[in-house]
Structure 1
Amino acid sequence: MTQDSVLDTQLLTQYHDSLGTDGLNATLTTFDQIIQSYANLLHQAAKEKNEEQLRSQAHKVKGACNSVGLVQLAKLMEQLEKESWEWPQAERLLIEWADSVIPHRQQLQQWIEQEAH
């Protein structure tokens, strides 16, 4: 998956221009702190097979991911939030999302490091 399909580099460039590297890193620290609790709530809703709660949490996670330029992760959450699905499909999307968080976050960190130089 290319960096452009994973990251919203236009948004990130705007953030970097206005916040600088330190400001962008501070924003990501906040993201890292909240995304874990959001993910826990997502998985709890899936475990309980609570569709309304899962869709609500997916909306929150989508917003958090979009706010830091992680567009591919946001797209996965948008599918959970808005599309019609059966539980096995929802569970696969959650697994795909969870498996993608760390590598996508690493790509974002690499992008920031490249911009800092």
Structure 2
Amino acid sequence: MSENNQLDMALLSGYLDNLGAEIVQQMLDLYQQQSVVYLNDINQAMEVQSQPDWQESCHKMKGAAGSAGLIGVHQKLVAIEKSTDSWPIKKQYFQELSTLNQAAISCFTQWLSNEQ
């Protein structure tokens, strides 16, 4: 997936212009660390089949992804956050989300390295 589909270029360019590359790198690093926690929470909700925990965990990650300019991840979370599909379907969503998140982080990392 290209940067245009993964990243909110206007938001990230604004961050870069206003905050500088070092702060944007710190933001990416923090998102990377936090996304591991969010994905673990979503996975845990799935394992215990808790709809409220699923929604809460997806909601938290959705906000973080949106703030970090990861529009593909944000859109996926918007689509699955309130899903009442079966847990096997949610497991597919989770796998798709994990893959999408890694791709988005890679895009962000590559974009930032090109901007420095």
Query: How far, CA to CA, are the matches of 2:69 and 2:103 in structure 1?
Result: 14
Amino acid at match of 2:99: D
- What's the CA shift string for 1:44-70, capped at 9, x where partnerless? 000111011101100001111111111
Query: How far, CA to CA, are the matches of 1:16 and 1:24 in structure 2?
Result: 6
Query: How far, CA to CA, are the matches of 2:85 and 2:71 in structure 1?
Result: 21
Aligned 1:5-24 pairs, distance under 5 A: 5-24=5-24
- Residue of structure 1 in register with 2:34 after alignment: 34
What are the ranges of 5 or more consecutive residues in structure 2 without an aligned counterpart?
none
Query: How far, CA to CA, are the matches of 1:51 and 1:33 in structure 2?
Result: 24
Normalising by structure 2, what TM-score? 0.92
Aligned 1:1-117 pairs, distance under 5 A: 1-116=1-116
Secondary structure class of the residue paired with 2:28: helix
Comparing 81-90 with 7-16, greater Cα deviation is found at: 81-90
Query: How far, CA to CA, are the matches of 2:68 and 2:43 in structure 1?
Result: 22
Query: How far, CA to CA, are the matches of 2:76 and 2:48 in structure 1?
Result: 20
Normalising by structure 1, what TM-score? 0.92
How many aligned residue pairs are there? Answer: 116
> How far is 1:36 from its partner?
1.0
What are the ranges of 5 or more consecutive residues in structure 1 without an aligned counterpart?
none
> How far is 1:75 from its partner?
1.2
Taking only the aligned residue pairs, the percentage that are identical comes to 27
Query: How far, CA to CA, are the matches of 2:91 and 2:56 in structure 1?
Result: 15
Query: How far, CA to CA, are the matches of 2:100 and 2:82 in structure 1?
Result: 20
Secondary structure class of the residue paired with 2:53: helix
